[in-house]
Copies of this chain bind each other. A is one copy, B any other.
Amino acid sequence: MSADPTLRREIPDATVARLPEYLRTLTMLAEAGVASVSSEELAASVGVRSAQLRKDLSHLGSYGVRGVGYEVETLALEITRALGLTQDWPVAIVGMGNLGHALASYSGFVTKGFHIVALFDDDPALIGEQVGDVTIRPSWDIEGCARELGIAIGVIATPAPAAQTVCDALVKSGVHAILNFAPSVLTVPAGVEVRRVDLSTELQILAFHAQRRVGLPSPAVVQR
């Protein structure tokens, strides 16, 4: 029943955030020819308790079989469908500095149903440059182009002061999903989803673990 949009709307945000992690493990298992996986194994690969995993997957209507676990390919398909990855999502990147260029060539973006169809910058030195098979367009053309190209997801990689203006132009063009790398909070209408990537958060979490190490016993080699 995971294709029922009414049901899908009920999946909690925290569960949605874990689904790509489960899918990553399942994809690796499928590529390795593994047919089934226990809830304990799948949960461990993502770092959650198996009770949490079972609860998450119950939102998709997937319950597994006691003593057998989950069928890898079936579950991967169910998650793919629940996330909406069975269709193609046209993506635009705005801000083609180093980060924009890095994102445009990031292999994770071009697989898994995402297709970069437009790049924008307001620097005349960058406009017209070819990146892969996409030409950088002027930022002031966002409103016209984004609607025409059917952009579903906008990625903002501009400096902070430009981010709100760019966001407004994307929203006016009908973009309802925005990934914000600029270190600024965006104001959007209801119904527009913004996710912010703050790389310094990751460093802060690492700093916690680095300081915690003081006084630990000397390390033994493990896989992870």
Any chain B CB within 8 A of the CB of A188?
A: yes
Q: For chain A, what secondary structure do more than half of its interface residues adopt (helix, strand, loop), or is it mixed?
A: mixed
**Integer count of this chain's copies in the complex:** 2
Q: Is the CB of A214 within 8 A of B5?
A: yes
| Cα-based distance from A219 to B17 in the complex (angstroms) | 23
Q: Knowing A9-B212, A47-B13, A176-B210 are in contact, say whether A192-B205 is a contact too (CB < 8 A).
A: no
Q: Is the CB of B112 within 8 A of A200?
A: yes
| Cα-based distance from A113 to B215 in the complex (angstroms) | 22
Contact with B along A134-155 (1 / 0, CB 8 A): 0000000000000000001100
Report the 9 A-B pairs with minimum CB-CB distance, sorted nearest first.
Answer: A84-B211, A108-B200, A191-B219, A98-B102, A99-B102, A193-B209, A20-B204, A177-B206, A98-B101
Which residues from chain A sit less than 8 Å from chain B, CB to CB?
5, 8-9, 11, 13, 16-17, 19-21, 23-24, 47, 82-85, 87, 89, 91, 97-99, 101-103, 105-109, 111-114, 152-153, 176-179, 183, 187-195, 197-216, 218-224
